Structure 1
Amino acid sequence: MDYQQLKLGKHGLPTWDALAPIVLKLAEQQTEWHGRALNAAVADDLNLPAILRQLTYPNQQNIIEDRAGWAVSELTTAGLLRRTRRGFYGATDLGRQVLHGLNQLVDRNVIHQQPKYSQHQQDLQERQTRNQISPAPELEVDETENTISLDQLTQQVKGYNAEVATDLLQRIRESAPEFFENLVVDLLSAMGYKGPNGSAWVTQLSNDGGIDGVINQDALGTSTVYVQAKRYEAENTVQRPAIDSFYGALSRNHADRGVFITTSSFSKKAVETAKGFSIVLVDGIQLTELMLQYHVGVQVKRQFEVFEIDQDFFED
């Protein structure tokens, strides 16, 4: 591969979308690739001069491998690659079709036109609207004080976390139903519903009676929360009959409280019905917001402390 024939960006290296067809070409040659190995293989395929192949950012991250990683991430979001297991990727049938069935290059436009990518962007926009997150501008330094606005910094952090939560929701939608049921029970336990002496479990799939999870809030089980978990694609909106069915399951268990959690959303009729039955509804966006808040399925990447002068200290 002559890298100079590709679209080049900063540092004279190919852009991430110029690397996308190479990623797909290599990905389909094996059942799965470890992400770092795939990034390195893409970089090696370019036959770059040593000085460009070894070029790094100030943090020592290899630049061309980092761009290959961006291509892997975008292709995965678009459904052209899939995560086969932790840290590993493989080509999807859609990815192979796009690679071999188009008379145009697999570039940024082709990737961003894929339905899964469009849904990802819709989820992100809805999340930003709910949380009143403005599109994060580039951080600007106040030349008069040589400072960065805390409001700017806050918006940057919120925007980053919104991206993480949106990616998290896509991963959950790709998971097995039983994984999702365990996840929601873990989340509600982390939120404190289990209490210090309570218990929580996922019901048997073959005989759950419309109940996916049970949380006893005390040792004797005198206060119990029943859970329904539906792992749906975004377009599969939960309708009123599903709420009616869950209410019937609660009634059979003589329960007065239930939580219905989905990775999609709820119709207006479903929301109205749930209010009448005292059923708490949690949609996909709220689910992942709660996961970030209670550190379920995520870990803190970095923490910052922001200081200001203690005026009282100097006035005493």
Structure 2
Amino acid sequence: MLQYAADGQEKNLREMYDDVAAALQLTDEDRRQLLPSRKQLTYHNRAGWAKTYLLKAGLVENAGRGRYRITETGRQVLAQRPERLTRRDLMRYGDFVAFVGAVPPDSGPPETIPAEEATPDDTLERLHQTLRDQLAQDLLEAVRSAAPAFFEQLVVDLLVAMGYGGTVRDAGRAIGRSGDGGIDGIIKQDRLGLENIYVQAKRWSGNVGSPEVRNFAGSLQYHKATRGVLITTSDFSQGARETARHLGGTLLVSGEELAQLMIDHGVGVTTAVVYEVKRLDRDYFERD
């Protein structure tokens, strides 16, 4: 970005995104990549933070709405012909240090300087994923240690939260205990009951293999259901997954996937805290 502004002319941020992407030879796939939040293109996010970092370090300056240009300090940096410019390099500038809330390199131990070239968005996404992964582990442990009757109700609650089976009462009547610590039954895919789904959920101790999947497919035909969901608190073998793909109409849900679905649909979890992250609405400021 600094090299892009080397000619001293004002640069438009929107044009900069594509021009810098072309200079870096980003592929179409690279340009389509989204952040884990699915809210923003990754290369737009990286370029936006790069501009912010350069601005805070005093290497570029704002030149009006959505525009920037290089400063004399920025020209001096380019005159040194650096191969690359990292966050660590910017730590020599006091305003940038104040911005990131870190300690200058010569006044503290090296470990005070982040080793990873990550933007705040990267860090936030990574920490959120870490918390989610830990929550999924906690959920799975709780599910595995729950009583059979509780496990039955959990699956019913999840299916209803996902929009299947009508009400909890309807789904509870349709799905019954299988007698071996699991559940077994037919639920409605929609409120009108135009299509039925056969559901089995069991707390197998080991991985579920191909024989169990084939037996499930047979039950699917017996119950005249068009689709089926087989849920386990453990996992499925590679052979079991291949069998399900070959037979078709069967969705396998492992323990890990079950925990993720519970998080996504708010079953067995509660919101601890919400951090609302806002961004500048450039369209608001660029109106005629």
Tell me the TM-score normalised to structure 1 length.
0.49
Counterpart in 2 of 1:38? none
The alignment status of 1:247 with 2:201, answered yes or no, reads: no
Match of 1:215 among 179, 184, 187: 187
Check whether the contact 2:175–2:187 (CA below 8 A) recurs between aligned residues. no
In structure 2, what residue type is equivalent to 1:217? Q
Check whether the contact 2:144–2:233 (CA below 8 A) recurs between aligned residues. yes
Counterpart in 1 of 2:204? 232
Aligned-pair distance for 1:206? Answer: 6.0
Match of 1:259 among 211, 229, 232: 229
Aligned-pair distance for 1:313? Answer: 3.2
Distance (Å, rounded) in 2 between the aligned partners of 1:220 and 1:286:
28
**Structure 1 segments unaligned to the other structure (5+ residues):** 1-130, 132-139
The alignment status of 1:287 with 2:258, answered yes or no, reads: yes
The alignment status of 1:158 with 2:116, answered yes or no, reads: no
Distance verdict in 2 for CA 1:211–1:256, change over 3 Å:
farther
Distance verdict in 2 for CA 1:207–1:314, change over 3 Å:
closer
Residues 222-260 of structure 1, C-alpha deviations (whole Å, 9 max, x = no match): 311111101133xx0001111122122222111121000
Distance verdict in 2 for CA 1:268–1:165, change over 3 Å:
same
Aligned-pair distance for 1:198? Answer: 10
Aligned-pair distance for 1:191? Answer: 1.2
Distance (Å, rounded) in 2 between the aligned partners of 1:215 and 1:198:
11
Check whether the contact 1:211–1:228 (CA below 8 A) recurs between aligned residues. yes
Check whether the contact 1:250–1:258 (CA below 8 A) recurs between aligned residues. yes
Counterpart in 2 of 1:34? none
Match of 1:301 among 272, 282, 287: 272
Distance verdict in 2 for CA 1:197–1:176, change over 3 Å:
closer
Check whether the contact 2:177–2:183 (CA below 8 A) recurs between aligned residues. no
Matched residue count? 175
Counterpart in 2 of 1:179? 150
Q: Give the share of equivalent positions with the same residue, in percent.
A: 43
**Paired residue secondary structure (1:302):** coil
**Paired residue secondary structure (1:259):** strand
Show the 5 A alignment for 1:3-82: none
In structure 2, what residue type is equivalent to 1:145? F
Counterpart in 2 of 1:117? none
**Structure 2 segments unaligned to the other structure (5+ residues):** 1-35, 37-87, 102-118
Counterpart in 2 of 1:273? 243
Aligned-pair distance for 1:143? Answer: 2.1
Aligned-pair distance for 1:220? Answer: 5.0
**Paired residue secondary structure (1:145):** helix
- Which structure: larger Rg? 2
Distance verdict in 2 for CA 1:312–1:222, change over 3 Å:
closer
Aligned-pair distance for 1:312? Answer: 3.4
**Paired residue secondary structure (1:246):** helix
Show the 5 A alignment for 1:104-143: 143=97
Aligned-pair distance for 1:213? Answer: 3.5
Tell me the TM-score normalised to structure 2 length.
0.54
Distance (Å, rounded) in 2 between the aligned partners of 1:292 and 1:191:
11
Distance (Å, rounded) in 1 between the aligned partners of 2:131 and 2:176:
37
Distance (Å, rounded) in 2 between the aligned partners of 1:217 and 1:268:
28
Distance (Å, rounded) in 2 between the aligned partners of 1:281 and 1:271:
7
Counterpart in 1 of 2:111? none
Distance (Å, rounded) in 2 between the aligned partners of 1:186 and 1:170:
18
Counterpart in 2 of 1:87? none
